[in-house]
Amino acid sequence: MFESLSDRLAGSLKDLRGKGRLSGADIDAVCREIRLALLEADVALPVVRSFITRIKERAKGAEVSAALNPAQQVVKIVNEELVGILGGETRRIEFAKNPPTVIMLAGLQGSGKTTLAGKLAKWLKDQNHTPLLVACDLQRPGAVSQLQIVGERAGATVYAPHPGTSIGGGDNALGITAADPVEVARAGIAEAKNKHFDVVIVDTAGRLGIDEELMAQAAGIRDATQPDETLFVLDAMIGQDAVSTAQAFQDGVGFTGVVLTKLDGDARGGAALSVREVTGRPIMFASTGEKLEDFDVFHPDRMASRILGMGDLLSLIEQAENVFDAQQAEDAAAKIGSGQLTLEDFLEQMMAIRKMGPIGNLLGMLPGAAGMKDALAAVDDKQLDRVQAIIRGMTPAERADPKMINASRRLRIANGSGVKVSDVNQLVDRFFEARKMMASMAGRMGMPGARKANQ
Ligand code: GDP
């Protein structure tokens, strides 16, 4: 799921990396790529259009940010817009003030309703709720016993009519026949009230395609049970049909939320990206397999970063924005460009970065870092402590003009900060090398203030 979309998006954004400045043409090119990637992933055309328009507008008018380079800003904008089309905030079940909370499941046959009923029941039980499953899919042969099986697995009670008999025995007072799903639903709610179940999950029948009878039955169950949540269950693998199916259910029954199932399949993912925008209803849960555990609350932000395939680069961007003082970063950038970075600036930058957490963690957030575990483990915060201690052992004049740090000063600094002279030598030498390298990189990237490196 999302793999090819992910690859394509990451590929188009990667082209921006290393660019100090983005031209309008760069933005147009990346938007073209993103558009193709989305269309290829089966995202509905109107959704693609409005998405691209928003990205373009925002990228072109992007605020000048000292903490982020333009390429990072585009990644950030694409991510925010992806989160937006996936629904923004995570939407959770709204439980009724007066239990039981009624949750009705609707969707095509085979979309995964019955399986979902079991998953939801387990999920609710794990949160100390007492769900009752009500079997109103009396159409599909075996649906009732399937619900009984998943209910048992989830450790939840199932309320179901015995095939061919009336509820509660042949001659109960209600005289309900098992063939009427609306009556089963009503009786299920009554049962939940009597026996103090606090959530009722109503499994309904689906058809292979949309038809009026199906909609009428679902609407009948809805009217009889007055659900607090109606969840439209959508098989993510049905591709472009997802949008029309969702619209048909919205018109015929109405729903408060969407559950995407079969996200473990190799579908292209367009359904996930279109359904919220097209129906205006949030995706609430995601199902990723046949087992009861393969299920979770849907988090738009996590899904977006998964689609972008940027690892935790996005959280790194966020943290960088929070930690870096804009003016300070701008000053440092100008000094880097002109080759005038001092050890004092270096110390400040290092401390700003270290405020974000242990350095190994930070590197671990970079995409592709997963394969570099050993190297990361070797990054030692103690080494950085030592660097900090050495710089602190210098006078302000030495920090501002490291060239004045001669042999006798090096000895004094080493003694003062409890390290060997060779450690001080190493730090100073590396600093000069790094300063030279950064200045020439800044020149190549067209950073403001950059000029030929002069050490
Ligand atoms: P219903 O007709 O809507 O009740 O659908 P079912 O719950 O019977 O599901 C139809 C088929 O899809 C069953 O074989 C399920 O095991 C399978 N299924 C349901 N959800 C998922 C899922 O998230 N991933 C995968 N791979 N299979 C699923």
Does ligand 1 have an atom closer than 6 angstroms to the CB of 290? Answer: yes
Checking if the pLDDT of 370 tops 50, the result is no
Q: Is the interface score ipTM higher than 0.90? A: yes
333-351 pLDDT, tens digit each: 777 777 788 888 888 777 7
Alpha carbons within 13 A on the beta-carbon side of 5: 24
Residues contacting residue 443 through CB under 8 Å, at least 6 positions apart = 337, 450, 451, 452, 453
Structure token pair of residue 210: 């949309």
Domains defined along the chain, listed by start: 3-85 (1.20.120.140), 101-298 (3.40.50.300), 324-444 (1.10.260.30)
Asked whether residue 296 is marked as a ligand-binding residue, the answer is no
At 320-334, the pLDDT tens digits run: 666 656 666 677 777
Q: Regarding predicted confidence, which is higher, 433 or 49? A: 49
For residue 261, the ligand 1 atom closest to its alpha carbon is: 23
- pTM recorded for the entire structure: 0.70
Give dist(CA 401, CA 405) in Å, integer.
Answer: 8
Whose Cα sits closest to atom 19 in ligand 1? 112
Ligand 1 atom with the shortest distance to the CA of 265: 26
Please tell me the predicted confidence (pLDDT) of residue 165: 45
Range 196-201 average pLDDT: 97
**Any atom of ligand 1 within 6 Å of the Cβ of 111:** yes
The phi and psi torsions of 229 (rounded to 5 degrees) equal -135, 130
Characterize the bridge pairing of strands 257-261 and 101-106.
unpaired
